[in-house]
Structure 1
Amino acid sequence: MTTSISIFDTTLRDGTQGEGISLSAEDKLKIALKLDALGVHYIEGGNPGSNSKDIEFFQRIKQYNLSAKITAFGSTRRKNSLAEHDTSLLRIAESGVRAATLVGKSWDFHVHTALQTTLEENLSMIYDSIAFLKRNHMEALFDAEHFFDGYKNNPEYALSVLRRAEEAGADWIVLCDTNGGTMPTEIHDIVSVIRRELRTNIGIHTHNDCELAVANSLAAVQAGARQVQGTINGYGERCGNANLCSIIPNLQLKLGYEVLAADQIKTLTGTARYISEIANVHMPVGQAYVGNAAFAHKGGIHVSAIMKDSKTYEHIQPELIGNKQRILVSELAGQSNVISKAQELGLDVNANNEKTKQIIDRIKDLEHQGYQFEGADASMELLLREAFTEMKEAFKVESFKMLVDRDSGFESGPMSSEAIVKLNVDGTYVYTAAEGNGPVNALDNALRKALVQFYPKIEEFHLSDYKVRVLDEKGATAAKVRVLIESAGKNSTWSTVGVSSNVIEASWEALVDSFRYALLHMDKVEPAPVETLERAGLVNQ
């Protein structure tokens, strides 16, 4: 019989403690709905009495009939008081949630130093608080904070903390590696002992300070834990929490545990990327399972092998978790890379095609100049389509000008940027100008303004990231630079590249490629009738 593992997501609570992450109530609502669709079993929403955002979230989430249990977070009652009089516990009970997690001290050092109370009073605080939740007909989860450090320092007391929570009726007892300093072998050994001592289901909550949060979570499950707490993309305080995007597929696809339904785990990559956008935190391209480069292949020998059988260099089928295989083309590429990438685009290319050798030489020459196509798939696709097909261009650039000045005095006046572009769209010329808060923004605005009347769908995408890399530091201000632009549409993202000793020219090249790629993939990109545009005064014959 397959063992089931419960997934407890704390992205909305512990994840928001990560540096640079701040979620509005609306953000938290969107993420909760996405997590519910993924199939996690618990969604910890925060503390319903700690701030206005959490209060609003718990009020608004009530209107949704979620499969996951929305869980409130709080701590045990204050020392030398009553649970019935504790404001935090009362707000949890009044929030209307079905489950709550209470954190309590299990390390005697923390009881004396942080709480500044007695060991016995700490046990009473835990018992009273858990019992309060049960009297209010709630599922009670007890997070034993700093448990592994506490157990290594004073195993008798750490175990007494767990027993007191069990006596009070806790439904889950979660062992926390709060400082993230415990080794996987220690986790396995200690969880094995605790599993024999308790009747209550055990969970695991690890932090990533030693880059071991995922490994520690897996070790705990193999030792008998049946709930894993973590966050999407590993967001969290300091070095982060256990990354559910790695834990879930490792448990299900590698170790054979029952975690999510097959159709739900296929949404894992999309969920991870959606939440990274909401949190405004870029995902590392090499993030396991869900990263953009997790199944990317660059070396010619690798590509040649995976074209025969993807198992040669892929540990799972990327489609199982909603990701996809990518072939990178660079100066290291052989014919296999180019042929595979071209076939992926539906182009009829084979090794005997003379153009294949020419395009490989062209790519190597461009990369020698400073281009980097492995991080600019859209520019690579345009290059291949130009080489192997008669690609119809949506527009041609006739010229562009960039004006930057300061209006009222060098000291205090604001800088202004104005771009002027002249385009040829299917024989129709358009000449327009636009301002921006910087040169690249002005160029983007001008290009968008010139094309939107021809192709209204360009309103559906926007620039999402902009990076500049100096290629030759010895050149100082005359150095060549590489510009990478990432753009995002409704359901996809793409990257383009430009290189020049002039940062404006490099930016313009990447920007134009971004628009060319977007229009290439849009349905019905035929330009609007010229007569309509002439009446609007938007074109010059």
Structure 2
Amino acid sequence: MSKKICLYDTTLRDGTQAEGISLSVEDKVKIAARLDQFGIDWIEGGWPGSNPKDMAFFEKMKEFPLKQAKIAAFGSTCRPGVAAEVDSNLQAILDSGAAVATIFGKSWDLHVLEALKTSLEENLRMVRDSISYLKQHQRTVIFDAEHFFDGFKQNADYAVSVLKAAEEAGADWIVLCDTNGGSLPHEVYQIVQTVRQQIATPLGIHSHNDGELGVANALAAVQAGAEQVQGTINGIGERCGNANLISVVANLQLKMGYSCVAEEQLQQLTKLSRYVAEIANMATPNNQPFVGNSAFAHKGGIHVSAVLKDPQTYEHIAPEQVGNRRRVLVSELAGQSNLLAKSEELQISFDGNKQEAREMIQQIKEREFQGYQYEGAEASLSLLLLESSGKLNPLFSLDSFKILMEKTAEHAILSEATVKVRVNGQIMHTAAEGNGPVNALDNALRKALEGVFPVLSQMHLTDYKVRVLDESEATAAKVRVLIESMRNGEKWSTVGVSTNVIEASWEALVDSIRYLLWKEGCTPQELEEQTEQRVGIVNH
């Protein structure tokens, strides 16, 4: 049976120290529930002695039973010269009601002498008394030895003496922290191995990512004997972040033979990553290992041809193991393999030996030469393939649009768009205002179509990018517009290209709507009755 490695998540505490990250109490409760569902062993909820929000979270969690995870309250040892039983931070941990208390103490003599301005012996007293006091109150105690690796390199005897003080006081776990994130994997391995020979208490690892080695250091520590890994979802955290538990779990379980979560829980890894990112209002990198949108994306024709024959040729794991999926990108580098794979994904019959396929590849390459970029706009590519195969219903078409902009001395520029679109032969004529021309166009088009296509009310734009393609042409340059849209958590991207930014935006905007309607299976026949009912209302 695979050896179990325990997972300790500190997204709700260490993760929120990342620049630009702020979670409400409700956000933290949602994430905690999802972490529990995934199989995390401990969830660090925050530092109850530091702010009211964290204490409110612990109060909320008293009424929110978890299936398996335990909530941990974070804090420091008692202060120099202060008895543990009267220390306000330790009392706040007890008041939180959390069954697990995680406290950190200094293990680097530099910090003891310069940061705390106390003696080495007093620091040992603080560690012993704090842990003993919490154990007297029936708490599971996890001791985080702060700056342990830096401390060990400078004064190994004292760093280990801090661990022994924690062990003697009854700590249930001792976690070695690479707080500055500057250690290397071989150093972590050697030091953990040395500590393992002197400390009987189970060990954990808490690594930061300042050298981009947070995950590597966590894996090295496990190989050397650590049985608990602390980290955050997507690696968020102060400075350069913490060890990314997403990558840690995937590597430990799929590559190193350890057990972290059940197989069916591991298949939720991608959803977990994106769920936390969504709540934290952050964009995850497309190239994030295992769970990124590009983690299993193939672009080169030779790569795609090989992957279609045997995925192992260019994939280190099956994407389904972590809940991700294989994607084939079609671009100027594409061959017939890319196109056939994309057609199969869309369930379009496409014969690669026919002239039709060769012409389609040539058309895509020509359009990319003109500035279109389909690897970042798969929805537009899907529409292009569907049109070529005759499987796309023309649900609406543009008659005309007009944009007016007005600027007064007292007010900002106001944009107004008038749109005429034709649906089943009927003209929908609407006008709407917006804070810019594209926003006004979007509002007017939706106003014309939402009555016929109610699903559009659930869709919204999440990103809008403009790229100048030929800077030498200055204001006459061709531009590429990429629009990202979302409905019920599903995102898709579309592209438009023109020397006029409004026209390029319109093209991408229309594609975003056409793609959603295709996904929803809308057909002209289903629209006739709705159109007749709607047209009279809109034209008035």
TM-score by length of 2: 0.97
Superposition deviation, residue 243 in structure 1: 0.6
Superposition deviation, residue 471 in structure 1: 1.4
Alignment partner of 1:512 is 2:513? no
Residues 429-483 of structure 1, C-alpha deviation per residue, up to 9 Å, x if partnerless? 1111111222222222112111110111112221111122221222222222211
Contact 1:230/1:242 (<8 A) preserved: yes
Alignment partner of 1:401 is 2:363? no
- In structure 1, C-alpha distance between the alignment counterparts of 2:487 and 2:249, rounded to whole Å: 28
Give 2:62's aligned residue.
Answer: 62
Superposition deviation, residue 369 in structure 1: 1.0
- In the TM superposition, 1:377-526 aligns within 5 A as 377-406=378-407, 408-409=408-409, 412-523=410-521, 526=526
Give the 3-state SS of the residue equivalent to 1:197 in structure 2: coil
Superposition deviation, residue 94 in structure 1: 1.1
User: What amino acid sits opposite 1:522 in the alignment?
Assistant: E
Residues 344-395 of structure 1, C-alpha deviation per residue, up to 9 Å, x if partnerless? 1101112122111111111111111111100111011001101112310222
Give the 3-state SS of the residue equivalent to 2:62 in structure 1: helix
Give 1:335's aligned residue.
Answer: 336
User: What amino acid sits opposite 1:21 in the alignment?
Assistant: I
- In structure 2, C-alpha distance between the alignment counterparts of 1:487 and 1:380, rounded to whole Å: 15
Contact 1:471/1:482 (<8 A) preserved: yes
User: What amino acid sits opposite 2:284 in the alignment?
Assistant: M
Alignment partner of 1:44 is 2:38? no
Residues 229-273 of structure 1, C-alpha deviation per residue, up to 9 Å, x if partnerless? 111111011111101111101000000101110110111101101
Give the 3-state SS of the residue equivalent to 1:514 in structure 2: helix
Superposition deviation, residue 109 in structure 1: 0.3
User: What amino acid sits opposite 2:87 in the alignment?
Assistant: D
Contact 2:247/2:289 (<8 A) preserved: yes
User: What amino acid sits opposite 2:25 in the alignment?
Assistant: A
Give the 3-state SS of the residue equivalent to 1:126 in structure 2: helix
Give 1:308's aligned residue.
Answer: 309
Deviates more, 1:426-435 or 1:289-298: 426-435
Alignment partner of 1:6 is 2:6? yes
The gaps in structure 2 that reach 5 residues or longer are none
- In structure 2, C-alpha distance between the alignment counterparts of 1:92 and 1:307, rounded to whole Å: 55
Give 2:209's aligned residue.
Answer: 208
- In the TM superposition, 1:85-96 aligns within 5 A as 85-96=86-97
Contact 2:236/2:242 (<8 A) preserved: yes
- In structure 2, C-alpha distance between the alignment counterparts of 1:389 and 1:9, rounded to whole Å: 50
Superposition deviation, residue 207 in structure 1: 0.6
- In structure 1, C-alpha distance between the alignment counterparts of 2:397 and 2:389, rounded to whole Å: 19
- In the TM superposition, 1:350-361 aligns within 5 A as 350-361=351-362
Pair 1:534–1:394, CA change in 2 (3 A)? closer
Residues 399-441 of structure 1, C-alpha deviation per residue, up to 9 Å, x if partnerless? 12222221x31xx522212121111112221111111222222
Give 1:175's aligned residue.
Answer: 176
Contact 2:378/2:494 (<8 A) preserved: yes
- In structure 1, C-alpha distance between the alignment counterparts of 2:428 and 2:35, rounded to whole Å: 46
Give the 3-state SS of the residue equivalent to 1:81 in structure 2: coil
Give the 3-state SS of the residue equivalent to 1:305 in structure 2: helix
- In structure 1, C-alpha distance between the alignment counterparts of 2:433 and 2:122, rounded to whole Å: 66
Contact 2:464/2:482 (<8 A) preserved: yes
User: What amino acid sits opposite 1:201 in the alignment?
Assistant: P
Superposition deviation, residue 136 in structure 1: 1.4
Contact 1:420/1:434 (<8 A) preserved: yes
- In structure 1, C-alpha distance between the alignment counterparts of 2:269 and 2:6, rounded to whole Å: 16
Deviates more, 1:148-157 or 1:364-373: 364-373
Alignment partner of 1:194 is 2:195? yes
Residues 69-110 of structure 1, C-alpha deviation per residue, up to 9 Å, x if partnerless? 111111111110111111121111011111121111100001
Give the 3-state SS of the residue equivalent to 1:392 in structure 2: coil
- In structure 2, C-alpha distance between the alignment counterparts of 1:391 and 1:322, rounded to whole Å: 30
Contact 1:187/1:219 (<8 A) preserved: yes
- In structure 1, C-alpha distance between the alignment counterparts of 2:394 and 2:80, rounded to whole Å: 72
Give the 3-state SS of the residue equivalent to 1:339 in structure 2: helix
The gaps in structure 1 that reach 5 residues or longer are none
- In structure 1, C-alpha distance between the alignment counterparts of 2:402 and 2:30, rounded to whole Å: 42
- In structure 2, C-alpha distance between the alignment counterparts of 1:140 and 1:397, rounded to whole Å: 67
Contact 1:394/1:520 (<8 A) preserved: no
Superposition deviation, residue 281 in structure 1: 1.1
User: What amino acid sits opposite 1:13 in the alignment?
Assistant: R
How many residue pairs match? The answer is 536
Pair 1:60–1:524, CA change in 2 (3 A)? farther
Give 2:253's aligned residue.
Answer: 252
Deviates more, 1:396-405 or 1:312-321: 396-405
Give 1:349's aligned residue.
Answer: 350
- In structure 2, C-alpha distance between the alignment counterparts of 1:472 and 1:531, rounded to whole Å: 46
Superposition deviation, residue 148 in structure 1: 0.1
- In structure 2, C-alpha distance between the alignment counterparts of 1:539 and 1:345, rounded to whole Å: 37
Give the 3-state SS of the residue equivalent to 1:180 in structure 2: coil
Superposition deviation, residue 159 in structure 1: 0.2
- In structure 2, C-alpha distance between the alignment counterparts of 1:207 and 1:41, rounded to whole Å: 20
Give the 3-state SS of the residue equivalent to 2:514 in structure 1: helix
Give the 3-state SS of the residue equivalent to 2:392 in structure 1: coil
Contact 1:74/1:92 (<8 A) preserved: yes
Give the 3-state SS of the residue equivalent to 2:170 in structure 1: coil
Give 1:153's aligned residue.
Answer: 154
Give the 3-state SS of the residue equivalent to 1:65 in structure 2: coil
Give the 3-state SS of the residue equivalent to 1:170 in structure 2: coil
- In structure 2, C-alpha distance between the alignment counterparts of 1:230 and 1:421, rounded to whole Å: 51
Contact 1:355/1:388 (<8 A) preserved: no
Residues 114-142 of structure 1, C-alpha deviation per residue, up to 9 Å, x if partnerless? 11111111111111111121111111111
User: What amino acid sits opposite 1:533 in the alignment?
Assistant: R
Give 2:34's aligned residue.
Answer: 34
- In structure 2, C-alpha distance between the alignment counterparts of 1:95 and 1:348, rounded to whole Å: 61
Deviates more, 1:4-13 or 1:461-470: 461-470
- In the TM superposition, 1:268-279 aligns within 5 A as 268-279=269-280
Contact 2:424/2:531 (<8 A) preserved: no
Give % identity: 58
Give 2:116's aligned residue.
Answer: 115
Superposition deviation, residue 43 in structure 1: 0.9
- In structure 1, C-alpha distance between the alignment counterparts of 2:289 and 2:229, rounded to whole Å: 18
Give the 3-state SS of the residue equivalent to 2:71 in structure 1: strand
- In structure 2, C-alpha distance between the alignment counterparts of 1:534 and 1:189, rounded to whole Å: 75
User: What amino acid sits opposite 1:355 in the alignment?
Assistant: E
Give the 3-state SS of the residue equivalent to 1:529 in structure 2: helix
Contact 1:428/1:539 (<8 A) preserved: no
User: What amino acid sits opposite 1:419 in the alignment?
Assistant: A
Superposition deviation, residue 278 in structure 1: 1.1
